[in-house]
Chains A and B, each alone.
Chain A
Amino acid sequence: MSSATLYSVSYDLSHTLLFALGGLIGGPLGRLLENGDLVTGIGVLVFAALLLAASMLNTIVLIWYERKLLGRFMDRRGAMHVGYAGLLQNFADGLKLFRKHTTRPREADEVGFYFGPTAYLVTSLMIFGILPISTGWNSGPMPLSLLLALVIFSFAPLFIFVSAWSSNNKYSLMGGLRSAAQMIAYEVPLLLAVVAVVVVAGSFSLTTIVYEQQNYWFWGPLIVALIVFVAAMLAEMERIPFDLPEAEAELVEGWNTEYGGMLFAFFMLADYLRALVGSILIVLLFLGGWTLPTWLPGSLTAWPLAGIFWFMVKTYLVFGLFVWIRASLPRVRTDQLLRVGWNRMIPLALLSVFLAAALVTVRCVPVFGCVPSPGA
């Protein structure tokens, strides 16, 4: 396990910076700068800024990727005129939304109307502080990082409901209600599927889970858990076929009907941030994270940033699967969605937990190999 984490890099950066500055100024003021607490504080800030920049950039590229991919599924080109191949399109969208006036309906709840989207975006961003991207890019040892990520991930329905309720629109309200019902229904199978992974990996730490997949990735032996996880993740991300809360055809724009300008941009960003988090979680839990199979030549990972590169490749491929589903499947109905959630997904998830338990008992699977003993 590499010792250089993202936080330690930030801390070192801040340490170097402040000590150099302190040495430059000299005297008592300079010594004040060489304070350890200050270094820690600045280090956290640098860490946050790095995370923010990386996640935002990734999100915007993700939107571009989806638009282009969806375009080809639909036999058209997608955004192509703003920037090379439309790469700058989403920046233009973001800047435009930033400049647009934000209007609040007169009858809307003042606090909730602004609090909802902001909290939605902020909680979605918070998850990125927990997810390890590669050996270098992680926030240090976090024994319960998976649990923490999922807890933050499940904050969303609350904020969606707050913003939907406070915009004082019937469509928004219905969208909010659907969103709450749907996310609660799919929270359970999601967690159960995660339990299967945790049983096999023997840890709640995402980093450990990735290292547990050295011998074989979990998608093979835990295929049932993967299916449950992908379906539940689709519902949590509110994408077709489970995009009922913002079902265009009947609910206009769902719970963000009354939001325009930057608040709408918050929603869009948060949606895609969650989609990114979903893809990343699938890569981490089932597809071996930043590692490659051992039978591949080692030169593929022998260069700097190779971990991040392969991780992003996997993430974008997983997201491509979501785009593919979006391009080819219709939307389901609320009651059907809930019925599938409670009647099909939870039994399947329980089954996957039993399978995982059996796997841990048996230890070895033909084709895939053996599980290392937990905690080894």
Chain B
Amino acid sequence: MTEEGAPGAGTTTEENPVLYVARPMATAARQFVKSLVRPSTIVYPYERLEDPRFRTEVAVASGRPIGVGQVWDNYRGVHALNIATCISCNLCAFSCPDLCIEMVTVPGPDPKKPKKCPQIDYGKCSYCGFCSDACPEGCLTMTTRYELSTPRRAEMVYSPQRLFDVFRSKLPMNPIRLERPENEDRILLDPPLCIGCNACARDCPTQCITMVDVPKTDPKPGQKPAKRIWKEPVVNDSDCVRCGTCISVCPKECLFWGGPP
């Protein structure tokens, strides 16, 4: 048991039963004396790790750290949803690997155009944070709340209103947020297929699609004239959040993802 990195400790074979029973007992006794001052237990319902005094490093009397400070800045707990800024882009629902987010209708400012906000089933959520990373408006964030025990399964489904209540409770929220990555993709149009139906512009959550006039083309000889509105969508790339709603609503499947390869 030599050479580099070989553990050399504890390879002694000397027989001294009394000493070798006394040594672990002495170690335990040292711990006992330290714990008499203050054990490292946190008395949970009365003390919490997210208390400010545990946020910085706590050097208790025995010199032992409980927690190492700043442990909550990035914590992924229950979501907080700011309904007011939600644009109903569906990105959270799409990005959810566990399919626990459902977009449900909530009363919005415009009664004609009901708003859709995420409803999260915490019985399925795996707290991966993909949804809050995907949220283009930063309205869906994760908080430090983690206590979610309930005798009824149905109570684990958080409606947008309940998520908004979490938001209003001003829990510490995750301050580390990803900036949206450089977008090289954009929505492209396959012009011959488009019928100018306006569905994409109507449903675009950011209103970044405008319908512009296109010149009427004459039908080729032997073909019937195309039945369509002579308008085409134009996407404002700087406003687009790349949610793909337009692609999903397009009846002719003429919109697709594209961009520089």
- The answer to whether B28 and A75 touch across the interface, beta carbons within 8 angstroms, is no
CA distance A314 to B127 in the complex (A): 54
CA distance A72 to B38 in the complex (A): 9
- The answer to whether B28 and A76 touch across the interface, beta carbons within 8 angstroms, is no
Q: Using a Cβ–Cβ cut-off of 8 Å, how many residues does chain A contribute to the interface with B? A: 13
* A85 interface hit (Cβ, 8 Å): no
From A75, A77, A80, A329, give the contact of B31 (CB < 8 A): A75
CA distance A72 to B39 in the complex (A): 7
* A71 interface hit (Cβ, 8 Å): yes
Q: A329-B21, A329-B24 are in contact. Are A324 and B29 (CB under 8 A)?
A: yes
The interface residues of chain B lying within 8 Å CB-to-CB of A329 are: 21, 24-25
- The answer to whether B27 and A328 touch across the interface, beta carbons within 8 angstroms, is yes
- Which residues 32-60 of B have a CB within 8 angstroms of A? 32, 34-36, 39-41, 43
CA distance A76 to B42 in the complex (A): 9
Identity of the chain A residue whose Cβ is nearest the Cβ of B27 in the assembled complex: A328
Identity of the chain B residue whose Cβ is nearest the Cβ of A72 in the assembled complex: B35
CB of A83 to closest CB in B, whole Å = 16
CB of A299 to closest CB in B, whole Å = 29
CB of A62 to closest CB in B, whole Å = 18
CA distance A73 to B27 in the complex (A): 10
The interface residues of chain A lying within 8 Å CB-to-CB of B31 are: 73-75
From A73, A75, A80, A327, give the contact of B40 (CB < 8 A): A75
- The answer to whether B24 and A76 touch across the interface, beta carbons within 8 angstroms, is no
CA distance A71 to B31 in the complex (A): 11
From A71, A74, A76, A325, give the contact of B25 (CB < 8 A): A325
Across chains A and B, the number of contacting residue pairs, with CB separation under 8 Å, is 41
- Which residues 292-331 of A have a CB within 8 angstroms of B? 324-325, 327-329
Identity of the chain B residue whose Cβ is nearest the Cβ of A227 in the assembled complex: B18
CB of B30 to closest CB in A, whole Å = 10
From B21, B27, B29, B41, give the contact of A77 (CB < 8 A): B41
From B21, B27, B29, B39, give the contact of A76 (CB < 8 A): B39
CA distance A76 to B24 in the complex (A): 18
- The answer to whether B35 and A73 touch across the interface, beta carbons within 8 angstroms, is yes
Q: A324-B28, A324-B29, A327-B28 are in contact. Are A75 and B35 (CB under 8 A)?
A: yes
CA distance A328 to B25 in the complex (A): 5
- The answer to whether A77 and B43 touch across the interface, beta carbons within 8 angstroms, is yes
Q: What 1/0 mask marks residues of chain A from 79 to 106 whose CB sits below 8 Å from any chain B CB? A: 0100000000000000000000000000
CB of B66 to closest CB in A, whole Å = 11
Identity of the chain B residue whose Cβ is nearest the Cβ of A241 in the assembled complex: B21
CA distance A80 to B31 in the complex (A): 20
CA distance A325 to B28 in the complex (A): 9
CA distance A324 to B28 in the complex (A): 8
The interface residues of chain B lying within 8 Å CB-to-CB of A71 are: 35, 39
The interface residues of chain A lying within 8 Å CB-to-CB of B34 are: 75
CB of B93 to closest CB in A, whole Å = 42
CB of A55 to closest CB in B, whole Å = 28
CA distance A75 to B31 in the complex (A): 7
CB of B42 to closest CB in A, whole Å = 10
- Interchain Cβ contacts under 8 Å between A and B, 7 examples: A71-B35, A73-B28, A73-B35, A74-B31, A75-B35, A75-B40, A76-B40
Chain B residues in the interface with A (C-beta under 8 A) = 21, 24-25, 27-29, 31-32, 34-36, 39-41, 43
User: Which 5 residue pairs across A and B have the least CB separation, nearest first?
Assistant: A328-B28, A72-B35, A328-B24, A328-B25, A77-B41
Task: List 20 additional contacts besides A73-B28, A74-B31, A328-B24; criterion CB under 8 Å.
Answer: A71-B39, A72-B32, A72-B39, A73-B31, A75-B31, A75-B39, A75-B41, A76-B35, A76-B39, A76-B41, A77-B41, A77-B43, A80-B43, A324-B29, A325-B25, A327-B32, A328-B27, A328-B29, A329-B24, A329-B25
